[in-house]
Amino acid sequence: MFYKLLFLFITITSNCGVIPGTTKEDKSTQNLILGAGILQSLNRTTSVSTSVSTINFSAISGNQEVACGTNMSGMIGNSASSKLVDLRFYVHDVKLFTSSGTKVDFDLSTDNQWQLAKGSNNFGAYPSLALLDFENATADCAGGTTEMNKSIRGNTLSGTFTGIEFKVGVPFFLNHLQATTATAPLNVTAMYWAWNSGYKFAKVEYSSNDTNSSANRFHLGSGTCSGNSAGPVNACGQPNLPTISITKTSGNFNPSTDKIVLDLGTMFNGADGKTLTTGSDTAIRTCMAGNTNANCQPIISNIGVNVSDGQSKTAQTSFSIR
């Protein structure tokens, strides 16, 4: 096809007059240069094709996928008898690592339920956003919603990929709005705290017979926020927005077949809630980002947040590609 177009171009230009101030030999050279330019342009256009892709997520404990109404295998907070109560988290600013070492955006599309495409508001521009939801309002998850979402859908340049990067949470220019009037997926009031603090970036709750507790809770969100009662005005002292950068251990990352896995056992590793059934120290039963309790800090660190200042850190152990 390209060579047919190139031949057509040369044929047409050969019938045109010589550009003033040039010879016939110059004209032939110009035709070859222009023809090569067209061919190069056509080749470049076809190599930058876009494709619609789906990236799947999964939540596990031990070697078992987490689901409402099912005993979770493995140890979570030193408990071997746990059931899911709630598991939801936001992701945004998704990028894929190419085999050449660069990063390309994975732009999510708006679907009016789980995803919001990149855009801007009165405060500034924001990247695309999605809400992942692993509960279905059954059994111990009765306080949730029946709908579930375990994937993100969007566009990226075609190519060979080795890994993925994303932020857990809500972009700052969307974080301090009002959930009752916000666009989906920011209209989920169960994922909202207040004007100043904004949304719960991640909500992980489970019941455990070992702690005699109806729900052990870990909620991630921004802390030490002020002046944001009318929208995102002042940055929070502890943003608590982890950047998750992961590559596949062996081979390339195939978004069509591989999954981004959150391991709850690894996430709660080092947090011992089993012995904390009495007294004022409720430990992981009420862990929030920024909590100074020694049993809460491992969770915060494992998900990729620096405990001391709420900044993202490079070493996280909760997410992997499988």
pLDDT higher than 50, residue 53? yes
pLDDT exceeds cutoff 90 at 66: yes
Q: What is the pLDDT of residue 292?
A: 76
Residues 114 and 254 in one domain: yes
Instruction: Answer with the residue of higher pLDDT: 300 or 278.
Output: 300
**Are residues 35 and 17 part of one domain?**
yes
Please count the structural domains in the chain.
2
pLDDT (0 to 100) of residue 210: 60
Residues 196 and 302 both lie in one domain: yes
* Judgement on whether residues 304 and 251 belong to the same structural domain of the protein: yes
Q: Is the pLDDT of residue 37 over 50?
A: no
What confidence tens digit (pLDDT) does each residue in 7-33 have? 444 344 444 444 344 444 444 444 433
In angstroms, the Cα distances linking 67 to 119, 146, 165, 241 are 34, 13, 25, 26
Same domain, 176 and 244: yes
Lowest mean pLDDT among 79-88, 181-190, 232-241, 298-307: 79-88
Same domain, 228 and 291: yes
Do 159 and 73 fall into the same domain? Answer: yes
The pLDDT mean for the chain works out to 82
**What's residue 74's pLDDT?**
73
| Same domain membership, residue 93 and residue 70 | yes
Are 15 and 102 in a shared domain? no
Specify the pLDDT at position 211. Answer: 53
pLDDT of the residue at 284? 54
pLDDT in the model for residue 222: 96
The pTM of this model reads: 0.82
Residues 29 and 55 in one domain: no
Structure confidence at residue 274 as a pLDDT band (50, 70, 90): low
Domain span including residue 17 = 2-46
- Asked if 19 and 97 sit in the same domain, the reply is no
| Chain segment 124-176, per-residue pLDDT in tens | 999 999 999 999 999 999 999 999 999 999 999 888 999 999 999 999 999 99
Task: Identify the pLDDT of residue 294.
Answer: 80
- Res 89: pLDDT: 98
Say whether both 211 and 92 belong to one domain. yes
Lowest-confidence pick of 116-130, 199-213, 258-272: 199-213
